[in-house]
Amino acid sequence: MGSSMFSHILKAGYTGMVYNRTKEKAGEVIRLGAEWTEKPAILAAQCDIIFTIVGYPEDVRELYFGEEGLINSAGSGSILVDMTTSSPGLAKEIYTYAMTKGIHTLDAPVSGGDTGAINASLSIMTGGNKEVFETILPLFKLMGDKITYQGVEGSGQNTKMCNQIAIAGTMIGVCESLLYGYQSGLDMKTMLKAISGGAAACWTLDNLAPRILKQDYDPGFYVEHFIKDMSIALEEARKMNIVLPGLALVQQLYISLVASGHGKKGTQALMLALKKISDTNG
């Protein structure tokens, strides 16, 4: 996703540098003129604005806080924007520590997946200082088309968590509905047509139910990444003393998918977990 997102910025005429653990993945942006660098620290020392999008909160922590990390390497006045879906608590830590060095940070996770990154149609949910957000806004607009400022540091990540929590619910609702419908012998297309215009209507029903009916479990969004997001939400919820039993249940079912070797499938593969516990091929 990072490659597609950065390519829009380069095509708009900006110059920049790139680092990635696997150089081949930077091939496209290097062709578009980005300067390759061997270390994040070198990049941080030379760039005014740095975007990061990595895998897990641990990766974000290492990238930002390591001895050769971004905060210790970037110049005063520079802006670091983390677009990874990561921990709201970590986003606050990064903001606070960076401030001590005169460095600004934003947490700006995205939704919309590979397709959104390629088409520059991502949703970008941003937390941090509002003036800093406005400085970066022209660049966000090159990557996405639904860009919101959510408030103080961590708010971008918390908004993304709200998004993922809602999706967990719609996903289990849709998959259980399909399992019931199939097993009870309904004509599935006729059933979906009847329910998709009313109170059961949701993006998942419109976009993923037809793929499930074709037994197409290719990833738009990986099972294992969704598990990471749910872990972050459940950990934050625990710290806030709030109980999310639906999310916890859905995460357990997704963990069972990884146990069955389906971690690299798309999130609609939740259907496979329900089929397995029901021992049906439906």
Task: Give 198-207's long-range contacts (Cβ < 8 A, gap of 24+).
Answer: 200/173, 202/170, 202/173, 202/174, 203/170, 204/167, 204/170, 204/171, 204/173, 204/174, 204/268, 205/170, 205/174, 205/177
Nearer to its own copies, 50 or 192 (CB): 192
- Nearest residue (CB) to its own copies, 66 versus 151: 151
Residues 64-93 close enough to bind its own copies by CB under 8 A: 88
Q: Considering the complex, what minimum distance in angstroms separates the CB of residue 91 from its own copies? A: 12
- Under the criterion CB under 8 A, does residue 200 sit at the interface with its own copies? yes
Using CB under 8 A, pick the residue from 149, 225, 257, 269 that binds its own copies: 149
Q: Determine contact, residues 252/274, Cβ cutoff 8 Å.
A: no
Pick the catalytic residue from 160, 214, 228, 276: 160
Residue 243 in the binding site for its own copies (CB under 8 A): yes
160 is catalytic: yes
Q: Helices in 119-154 by DSSP H: which ranges? A: 130-143
Q: Are the beta carbons of 188 and 181 closer than 8 angstroms? A: yes
Return the residue of 12, 25, 193, 259 that touches its own copies, per CB under 8 A: 193
Site for its own copies contains 123 (CB under 8 A): yes
| Site residues (CB under 8 A) for its own copies, limited to 163-182 | 163-174, 176-181
Q: CB-wise, 15 or 278, nearer to its own copies?
A: 278
Q: Which is nearer to its own copies, 11 or 239 (CB)?
A: 239
Cβ-defined contacts of 187-195 (< 8 Å, 24+): 188/213, 189/213
Count of residues that interact with its own copies, criterion CB under 8 A: 76
**Unique residue bearing structure tokens 């088409």:** 119
Shortest separation between residue 62's beta carbon and its own copies, angstroms: 25
Q: What is the CA radius of gyration of the chain?
A: 20
Q: Which residues are catalytic?
A: 160
